């Protein structure tokens, strides 16, 4: 496989996984604002930032954060893509 094809395939996979994490965050907290980007930083392939509403309880924020982190870890195990995820409260 040509290097450009591998790069294109990896980018398509990254886009799909960012979309998956974004949709997961919205499913878990529909009122949250979610941002995904493909900016590479050190060993990160991309990132997802979640901004839940201010009135979300600490327990709900933690549940959201853990669910997204768990899925991001599974994605890393399955694909090698390191997608940094953060919930800002």
Q: Which residues pair with 47 in a beta bridge?
A: 37, 84
Q: Looking at residue 19, which CATH number applies to its domain?
A: 3.30.300
Q: What is the per-residue pLDDT across 60-88, written as a single tens digit (0 to 9) for each? A: 999 999 999 999 999 999 999 999 999 99
Q: What is the per-residue pLDDT across 8-17, written as a single tens digit (0 to 9) for each? A: 899 999 999 9
Q: What total of structural domains would you count in the chain?
A: 1
Strand runs labelled E in the chain: 33-37, 46-51, 83-87
Tell me the longest C-alpha to C-alpha distance in the chain. 50
The residue range of the domain holding 25 is: 3-87
Q: How many CA atoms lie within 13 A of 57 on its CB side?
A: 3
Backbone angles phi, psi at 49, to 5 degrees: -115, 130
């Amino acid at each position: 496989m040509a290097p450009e094809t591998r790069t294109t395939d990896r980018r398509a996979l990254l886009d799909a996984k960012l979309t998956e994490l974004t949709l997961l965050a919205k499913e878990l907290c529909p009122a949250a604002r979610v941002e995904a980007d493909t900016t590479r930083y050190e060993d990160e392939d991309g990132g997802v930032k979640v901004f839940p509403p201010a009135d979300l309880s600490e327990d709900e924020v933690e549940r959201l954060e853990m669910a997204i982190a768990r899925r991001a870890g599974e994605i890393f195990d399955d694909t090698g893509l390191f997608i940094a995820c953060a919930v800002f409260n």
